[in-house]
Structure 1
């Protein structure tokens, strides 16, 4: 038995895509509706730059078809500005801002760290320990949001659902078995990031799912993936999806992950500058069907 795969794109509102991926004349407000008809999953990018509002999450839910899945990028105030110091209330703000409005379409939350953020085990563990693993626990945490959020929160989590978290690192100090052990302890996935060699690529399995971000294999955010590269990633995804690990995985720890019969895999293309992302995602989906 295999896990499920969710292949998509990071964000959907890009001017260069208009007339190339998006049909000529398509109004901007219908771009998500169109993109979600072409791909089964999208990473919400705007939540990284600013807290979004409940009505936006509700509109995104309505614009997408049944079975669609969103990943939500955590706010950079926590990861880049606070650098995980005193993260409790800011995390509550993120959870209160409307993510529950995605209901059953809520997939993993992504926490991306800057290239100058190095691994400090105690600080990192304190953050991992805060992350809720179901929507009811998240709603309890969300109640601690700052007063400035009043009037723009959504605190009803609906039925209890799992919440997954993944972290993307960009500093060599994270190539450390201690880091891998911490992720496994808190059941948080390590993002496998292809960054044209600019930042570390670590492929240790640390949770019951995998999260992959493909930023470009030759030129960051710009280069497309040729057929050979698409098949390379399809092979890796098949191995993870079937509960295993690729034979050529780049590992930071010599300890094997917990054995599973299957894993879900989320994979997002972020090579958007030259309009490769949506088409590469479609090609990878086709390759995984073969």
Structure 2
């Protein structure tokens, strides 16, 4: 069976304090706390700006040995450059400290804006640039430009490990057989995004793992998932995990539902016999 990772998108939310985070827990220990309850977390700050190697190293050290982060690719690449002229931006992204996560580096998530329509040539050129191993990523990072220097650069890896990539598109032009076939050709996971009907919800295997983002099924970013909905998602996750690894992240964070829904889904998948890694042990 594949390994199941279930968590949240980001972890620093003031509204969670006194709710998911116990009252009195200092902010600097929130990641430590969240990672003890969940099995993976998406790093969102990397989407908005290049982070520092020291930050990635700190996040690595504050989490359990068996923990995994997904890292969100920079919007400078996806939203501003729109996947074109990305040689230096990609090098800078991987040089900014992503590799400092070491064995805790999970999939890299690329989220495209709704206004970016599918273009086979553009997407193919970008997909071919993505490093598929940490050694390839380190070589790419070594070609960073002068925007990064000194302690802002981490362009090495302690071992050669595979790097997986996932794509969350928001233009319906990507929900075509041609685009999905191209994702499969490059072994890039098609993100199954639940967005209360706002953006495409495409359930298709295009890689050797599954990547799911749950933004809310009734209200985008706001609504929580009912017990019945979580039961249904648990059944789907368990079925997928019979043949591949599965990553699921709750992004319905506005009212604090995300971490509670993630914990509830973990418990349901465990009861079904799914392999969920948490706090140093595997549960079956």
Q: Secondary structure at the match of 1:122?
A: helix
Structure 1: 4+ residue segments shifted above 6 A: none
Pair 1:100 & 2:99 matched: yes
Aligned to 1:80: 79
What RMSD over aligned residues (CA atoms) do the two structures have, in Å?
0.7
Pair 1:139 & 2:138 matched: yes
Aligned to 1:275: 256
Distance in 1, Cα, partners of 2:161 & 2:51: 21
Aligned to 2:225: 225
* TM superposition shift of 1:217: 0.2
Pair 1:123 & 2:104 matched: no
Aligned to 2:20: 21
Distance in 2, Cα, partners of 1:99 & 1:200: 29
Distance in 2, Cα, partners of 1:71 & 1:218: 25
Aligned to 2:277: none
Aligned to 2:215: 215
* TM superposition shift of 1:23: 0.7
Distance in 2, Cα, partners of 1:175 & 1:70: 27
Aligned to 1:289: 270
* TM superposition shift of 1:241: 1.1
With the length of structure 2 as denominator, give the TM-score of the two structures.
0.94
With the length of structure 1 as denominator, give the TM-score of the two structures.
0.92
Aligned to 1:238: 238
Aligned to 1:255: none
Please list, as runs of the form range in 1=range in 2, the aligned pairs for 1:138-287 lying within 5 A after superposition. Answer: 138-151=137-150, 152-242=152-242, 262-287=243-268
Q: Secondary structure at the match of 1:71?
A: strand
The alignment of Structure 1 onto Structure 2 pairs a total of residues equal to 270
For structure 2, the 5+ residue unaligned runs are 272-284
* TM superposition shift of 1:38: 0.8
Aligned to 1:258: none
* TM superposition shift of 1:239: 1.8
Distance in 2, Cα, partners of 1:175 & 1:57: 34
Aligned to 1:248: none
Distance in 2, Cα, partners of 1:239 & 1:224: 23
* TM superposition shift of 1:193: 0.2
Using the TM superposition, name which of 70-79 and 226-235 deviates more.
Answer: 226-235
* TM superposition shift of 1:177: 0.8
For structure 1, the 5+ residue unaligned runs are 243-261
* TM superposition shift of 1:280: 0.1
Q: Secondary structure at the match of 1:147?
A: coil
Aligned to 1:54: 53
Using the TM superposition, name which of 178-187 and 12-21 deviates more.
Answer: 178-187
